[in-house]
Chains A and B, each alone.
Chain A
Amino acid sequence: MFERFTSVGLEIAEAHCDAPCGVYDPSQARVEAESVLQLTKKITDLKMPDGGDQAASTAYQNTLTRFIAIKEERAELAKHHLLVLWTDYFKPQHLEKYPELHDLFWKSAKLCSSVKQEVSLEHAQELMDNVKRVHEIFWETKGKDVPWYTAS
């Protein structure tokens, strides 16, 4: 009863830090990791044209090169967004509650490198699974129930 009156019109005691707190959301990493997974699938599915047809060969190589270039770029972005969460958002008290945190981010960052080097559906999926775990931990620390979703 008493507690109910306490939230309205109260004077504020600020426990802030003066630099504005960043807005963080693991969905940025999810979009990039998901793109890498989709591009890996596209590269795996891309059919090489049967010999001799110059135009088809050029188109094939152009498409393949674009897929590879975008996969490279998106994997780097996924790594960037993961590292920002790791180094800027997560705090020592989160690590106490989630001791897996460092290992999770370290392995995820390494996966971002391997999905660039390889065309590996397995590693691309593993990266997505790790990002999902980051999502779960992140929103738990925020006390919000945000369901995991993907765009594709």
Chain B
Amino acid sequence: MELPKINWKQRLLLFVGRRRLLKVEGDSMYPTLETGDAVLIDPRAFIATGDIVVADHPYKQSIKIIKRVESIDPGGRYILKGDNPDGSTDSRTYGTIAKGDIRGKVVCRVR
């Protein structure tokens, strides 16, 4: 469940544009991630159940969400859930997420 801390390899991949840096706001991924944490995502990674992902919000333009993949349904759509389900709006509310809306897999925390 825990995310590894950033290492030199990930820093280098960020430097060459293979990783993106994002800041987390909100507590729906507590205790794995908290407000103010920063993470790196790999936009090309294969996404599997259990991965933390950043995706486009299904209804709100320009908002990105960060959640964990709880499962992938038979149609290949992603069911996302916060690690802190009591404080999370996720697939339980807005349904499944299309593969094309997943922006990347969270590979490490920066701090």
Interface residues, chain A, with chain B CB atoms under 8 Å away? 2-3, 6-7, 10-19, 21, 91-93
Contact = CB atoms under 8 A, between A and B. Distances in A.
Nearest to A93: B31
A80 B36 CA distance: 32
B28 A13 contact: no
Contacts, number: 80
29 contacts: A2-B11, A3-B38, A3-B111, A6-B21, A6-B38, A6-B111, A7-B36, A7-B38, A10-B22, A12-B23, A12-B24, A13-B22, A13-B24, A13-B39, A13-B54, A13-B65, A14-B57, A14-B66, A15-B24, A15-B29, A15-B82, A16-B89, A17-B28, A17-B82, A17-B87, A18-B89, A19-B89, A21-B87, A91-B86
Contacts of B66: 13-15
Interface string B16-45: 000011111111111101011011000000
Given A13-B23, A16-B89, 7 more contacts: A2-B11, A6-B38, A6-B110, A6-B111, A11-B21, A13-B22, A19-B89
A38 to B, nearest CB: 36
Tell me the dominant secondary structure on chain A's binding face.
Answer: mixed
B100 to A, nearest CB: 17
B77 interface: no
Interface of B: 6, 11, 20-31, 33, 35-36, 38-39, 54, 57, 63-67, 82, 84, 86-89, 93, 110-111
A12 B24 CA distance: 6
Contact of A16 (B26, B33, B110): B26
Contacts of B20: 11
B25 A14 contact: yes
Given A13-B39, A17-B88, A17-B89, A6 B65 contact: no
Contact of A11 (B11, B64, B67, B84): B64
A13 B31 contact: no
B87 A91 contact: yes
B65 A10 contact: no
Contact of A15 (B11, B65, B86, B110): B65
A91 B28 CA distance: 12
B76 to A, nearest CB: 23
Nearest to A91: B86
Given A17-B88, A91-B86, A10 B21 contact: yes
Contacts of B6: 2
A11 B43 CA distance: 14
